[in-house]
Structure 1
């Protein structure tokens, strides 16, 4: 079953409740609903505002699931609404539904 893709307006969050800011490459050739799609390579520069002071999440270390197997942009898998992965000190996931206009 196809899943909605994530766009630059969708939200990610670490397991401690910290929002994750992802800068989507501005020259991206694929968009949905007027917003650029989010791809796996965008996560390398993500900034996590983790509230856990003892062991804060500061970087995304992997994508466990939710990277498209069929849709890529510039060789990087498009991220789907059910994406989740690991950080240096916990886990992360998408907290918004993705774009209903494009599914992969």
Structure 2
């Protein structure tokens, strides 16, 4: 489990006129995590044109990325993504619907 917390507060007096909100980007470098992943390959069997084909693919790993954002009015927003990756690349990123409704603290 990796945990990261960032707190940002904007001063209304220094905020440029004409702007209503800001955007914050967080960049995660997964190369360190990828280097810790187990080496190896697995076989995938598929049915194509009535024939079973065998393909060897690099072992895949699943990472759950969950973010929690609290607005200035204490509205909590939770988002989740499923990241499928192997040692050499990110294979897929899928947003996952979170069952929790948006709530206020």
Identify whether the pair has TM-score above 0.5, normalized to the shorter chain: no
Please identify the structure whose Cα radius of gyration is greater: 2
More RCO (CA 8 Å, sep 6+): 1
- Scaled by the length of structure 2, the TM-score of the pair is 0.23
- Scaled by the length of structure 1, the TM-score of the pair is 0.23
